[in-house]
């Protein structure tokens, strides 16, 4: 399917691996030129080279921590004006509600709420001036149903979701949509590391921990970065211009809700 965005330019944050990489791949497949970002230069350059070779689009790679002011400055300087913004960063660590300090919360808010907001504030004006834009924020299923051990994530992502709900309606009339994609469990390094933590705590092997978690998902498996990226590319397409301020859950049916 031609998504109608060939030749557009996208900034995909935190995209050398995992879900961000899936989004970068799917946008490149749709003919979108990319600015990719991650902290580790080696994996980032390898991902950029693979995408250039596979899809023939232009890819600029910027190794920087997107959750810092300096990192965002470097990424935004390289990006210039973009038509599509995909926000993403690593998730906060698991833990217990009673242990988190003010500093822990500030770090989580910086990474998963204030960073995407700062990127939107920087790039929405250009999209509005040009009369077309797409923003997709990678958040979490924790927005719909809290995950006890990920209280830092529950908190920060709820804040971002509130900001998007209000802002999406203010920019929709200018041809710019903002939506959130809510991953359930996906087969990425993050999921593997969370499984390893559960395995240690419960005296299981990582494979046993994974099997137990898969049994809680009606689809009976983890999602893939490819599936996730395809959903992101659709939200960025010409056909998704009437989708405004939505929170799209990709979780294999894991969260048991009617709406
Ligand atoms: P992942 O496989 O660990 O990949 C994370 C990617 O982000 C890597 O490319 C990493 O590269 C980059 N990154 C991490 N921190 C960064 C930073 N501060 N600045 C720039 N790049 C950064 O993680 P994932 O599973 O794709 O998860 C992506 C997001 O979705 C996270 O916020 C996670 O909490 C959320 N999520 C994931 C799942 C899941 O099951 N996978 C479920 C719900 C929510 P470097 O390390 O080199 O920077």
* 37 Cβ closer than 6 Å to some ligand 1 atom: yes
Residue 86, pLDDT score: 99
Q: Which is the closest atom of ligand 1 to the Cα of 40?
A: 47
pLDDT at 191: 87
pLDDT the model gives residue 194:
84
Answer yes or no: is the C-beta of 213 below 6 A from any ligand 1 atom.
Answer: no
* Cα separations in angstroms, 58 against 29, 85, 205, 209: 12, 16, 42, 40
Distance 131 CA to ligand 1 centre (A): 31
Rg (CA), the chain: 18
Could you tell which of 21, 43, 90 is best to mutate to test the pocket of ligand 1, judged by most ligand atoms within 8 Å of the CB? 90
Q: Please give the structure tokens belonging to residue 13.
A: 């944050």
Q: How far is the CA of 38 from the centre of ligand 1 (A)?
A: 9
Residues of the chain with pLDDT under 70: none
Q: What is the pLDDT of residue 62?
A: 98
Q: Tell me, what's the pLDDT at 124? A: 98
Q: What string of H, E and C letters represents the secondary structure of 164-205?
A: HHHHHHHHHHHCEEEEEEEECCECCHHHHHHHHHHHHHHCCC
pLDDT score for 233:
99
Ligand 1 atom nearest to CA at 68:
18
């Amino acid at each position: 399917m031609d998504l109608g965005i060939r030749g557009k330019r996208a900034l995909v944050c935190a995209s050398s691996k995992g879900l961000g990489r899936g989004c970068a791949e799917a946008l490149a497949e749709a003919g979108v030129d990319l600015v990719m970002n991650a902290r580790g230069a080696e994996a980032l350059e390898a991902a950029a080279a693979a995408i250039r070779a596979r899809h023939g689009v232009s890819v600029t790679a910027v190794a920087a921590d997107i959750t810092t002011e300096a990192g965002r400055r470097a990424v935004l300087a390289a990006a210039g004006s973009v038509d599509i913004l995909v926000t993403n960063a690593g998730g906060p660590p698991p833990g217990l509600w009673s242990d988190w300090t003010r500093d822990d919360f500030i770090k989580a808010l910086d990474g998963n709420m204030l960073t995407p907001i700062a990127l939107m504030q920087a790039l929405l004006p250009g999209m509005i001036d040009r009369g077309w834009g797409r923003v997709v924020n990678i958040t979490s299923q924790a927005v719909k149903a809290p995950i006890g051990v990920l209280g830092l994530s529950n908190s920060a992502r709820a804040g971002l979701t509130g900001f998007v709900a209000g802002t999406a309606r203010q920019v929709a009339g200018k041809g710019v949509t903002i939506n959130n994609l809510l991953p359930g469990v996906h087969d990425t390094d993050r999921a593997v590391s969370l499984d390893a933590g559960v395995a240690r705590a419960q005296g299981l092997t990582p494979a046993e921990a994974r099997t137990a978690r898969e049994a809680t998902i009606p689809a009976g498996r983890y999602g893939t970065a490819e599936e996730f990226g395809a959903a992101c590319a659709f939200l960025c397409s010409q056909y998704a211009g009437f989708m405004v301020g939505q929170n799209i859950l990709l979780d294999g049916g894991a969260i048991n809700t009617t709406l």
